[in-house]
Structures are given as C-alpha cells and as structure tokens.
C-alpha cells in the first residue's frame, strides 16, 4: 500500500511537471465531441439523440490515447524493470499506474461531461446519468487498457495494434454506458445498465491487474 502511494505520487508528479498536460485528454474529449455537430448535423433534436453515443465514444478514444504516454516511457527507460527488481509486485504497479491514469485522464472527463452534455442539448436528468455512468465506467477502461498497452508496448506501431486488441473489450462498457444515458433521456429505468457497469468494474479490478502484470513481464524480456 505504501508503494502504491509512492508510484501514484511519482506518476502524478511526472504528469504535473508540465502543468498543462492534464488538460490534453480533456481537450481531446471536447474536440471530438464538438466535431460531431460539424460533421453530422447542427440540429438540436438530432444532436440530443446522438449525444450519449458520442460522449461515450469520445471518452473511450481519449482514454485509449492516453495509455501510451502513461506506459511506454516507463518501459523504454528501464524504470519498470527497476520497480520489479525492487520487489514491487507487478499487479501493484499496474494498479497504481491505472489509478494515476484515471486521476489524470478519467476524472476530468467525468467532471467536464455535463458541460458537453449541455452543448449537445442533453437534458438535465440524462446529463447527470451520463456523468454517473462515466464515473463507474472509466476506471474499467483504464484497467482493461492497461492489459492492452502492456501486451503491445514493445512493438512498433503498437499504438494501432493496441486499439485492435482493446476496443473489442471496451465495447460492452460502451454499450451499457450509452444505453444508460439513452434510457435516462427517454425517461426509462437505467439502474440495470449502471449495475452491469459496476459489475464490470469489480470484475476488471479483480482480474485486469494480474493479466496486465503477466503481459508486462512478457514485454520486458
């Protein structure tokens, strides 16, 4: 637990060293969501209709994009192997890094989502649910993403291969997340979807660190 804190602190201080860095994933999120009114339609009713899906797709892509920055340099400069050699268990390292990743990338998304919702004409109730769904869903994305990035980090063009491996695993979260918001926006019951998101989170908290740690050791060789 002590080491968990230390790794998280270190990650955060690396990120916050150039203070503007934590706004990038956010900016990406805002940019992608605002591309849709331009590319599809600026009409309010239509926008509100596609909004849940767009918010979730954008969140998913922006988390995906942040993974590389969080893991790759640690592999290349040898600091991951040094942590392992200091006796820190692989799954703890993953857990700590995924947590830091979520703090830097996932949490800001959750906080900014309501504003995007307003811009896309989503109504209040649906907007709050979107935020809640993102709050439960994004940590799973960070954890599952950790598996993918650890499998591909040693490879050239790993970035795109990463996508190929990880997006299929993200899709259930996407479906339930988006459908929770959709249900809320037409006044239906959405608790089922949220419960499934929570179940996915628990499952990935239990399993993903081990899978990712195994992948990490393979990549280090």
Partner 1 sequence: MWNWFFQLASPKWFYTIARKVTPWLSVLMYSLMLAGLVLGLIFSPADYQQGNTVRIMYIHIPAAYMSMMIYVIMAVAGAIGLVWRMKMAHIVSVSCASIGAMFTALALLTGAIWGKPTWGTYWVWDARLTSELILLFLYLGFMALHSAYDDKKAADKASAVLALVGVVNIPIIHFSVEWWNTLHQGATLSKLEKPSMDTSMLWPLLIMIVAFKLYFVVTLFHKIRGEILLREKQASWVKKLVADSKQ
Partner 2 sequence: MELISSEFNSDNLIEITNLTVIRSDFPVFSPVNFSLGAGQAMQIRGTNGAGKTTLLRAICGLCHSLEGEISWNDEVITPAHQNFYQSLLYIGHALGLKPKLTIEQNLSFFQQLRFELDSQLIQEAMQAFGIAELYDEYVAKLSAGQKRRVSLCRIITEPVPLWILDEPLVALDVDGQQWMLDICNQHLERGGILLITSHQPINGIHNLRELTLS
What sign has the CA pseudo-torsion 171, 172, 177, 183?
Answer: positive
Distances in Å between the Cα of 46 and the Cα atoms of 40, 50, 81, 122, 179 are 9, 6, 51, 11, 17
Nearest Cα residue to 80 out of 68, 90, 65: 90
Positions in 47-76 near partner 1 (CB under 8 A): 47
Span near partner 2 by CB under 8 A; candidates 9-17, 114-122, 128-136, 163-171: 9-17
The distance of closest approach from Cβ of residue 102 to partner 1 in the complex, given in angstroms and rounded to an integer, is: 19
Using CB under 8 A, pick the residue from 47, 54, 64, 83 that binds partner 2.
83
Q: What's the CA gap between 162 and 65, in Å, rounded?
A: 10
Using CB under 8 A, pick the residue from 85, 160, 186, 189 that binds partner 2.
85
Nearest Cα residue to 124 out of 178, 188, 181, 179: 181
User: Residue 139 in contact with residue 109, Cβ under 8 Å?
Assistant: no
Distances in Å between the Cα of 211 and the Cα atoms of 115, 124, 183, 204, 218 are 36, 39, 33, 10, 11
Residue closer to a second copy, measured from CB, 56 or 190: 56
DSSP for residue 189: -
The listed partner (a second copy, partner 2, partner 1, none) that binds 89, CB under 5 to 8 Å by sort, is partner 2
Positions in 128-157 near partner 1 (CB under 8 A): 144, 147, 151-152, 154-155, 157
Residue closer to partner 1, measured from CB, 1 or 19: 19
Tell me which residues touch a second copy (CB under 8 A).
14-15, 18, 21, 24-25, 27-28, 31-32, 35-36, 38-41, 46, 49-50, 52-54, 56-57, 60-62, 65-66, 68-69, 73, 155-161, 163-164, 167-168, 171, 174-175, 178
Tell me which residues touch partner 2 (CB under 8 A).
2-3, 6, 10, 13-14, 17-18, 73, 76-79, 81-90, 156, 217-218, 220-221
């Amino acid at each position: 637990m002590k080491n968990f804190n230390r790794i998280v602190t270190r990650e955060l201080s690396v990120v916050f060293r150039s203070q503007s860095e934590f706004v990038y994933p956010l900016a990406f999120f805002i940019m992608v969501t605002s591309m849709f009114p331009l590319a599809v339609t600026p009409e309010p009713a239509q926008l509100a209709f596609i909004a849940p899906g767009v918010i979730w797709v954008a969140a998913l892509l922006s988390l995906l994009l942040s993974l590389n920055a969080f893991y790759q340099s640690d592999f290349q400069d040898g600091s991951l192997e040094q942590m392992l050699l200091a006796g820190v268990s692989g799954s703890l390292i993953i857990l700590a890094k995924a947590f830091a990743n979520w703090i830097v990338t996932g949490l800001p998304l959750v906080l900014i989502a309501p504003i995007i919702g307003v811009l896309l004409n989503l109504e209040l109730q649906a907007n709050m649910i979107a935020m809640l769904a993102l709050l439960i869903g994004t940590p799973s994305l960070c954890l599952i993403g950790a598996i993918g990035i650890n499998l591909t980090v040693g490879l050239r063009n790993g970035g795109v291969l990463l996508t190929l491996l990880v997006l299929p695993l993200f899709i259930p979260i996407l479906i339930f997340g988006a459908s929770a918001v959709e249900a809320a926006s037409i006044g239906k019951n959405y608790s089922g979807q949220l419960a499934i998101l929570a179940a996915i989170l628990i499952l990935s908290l239990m399993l993903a660190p081990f899978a990712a740690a195994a992948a990490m050791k393979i990549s280090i060789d």
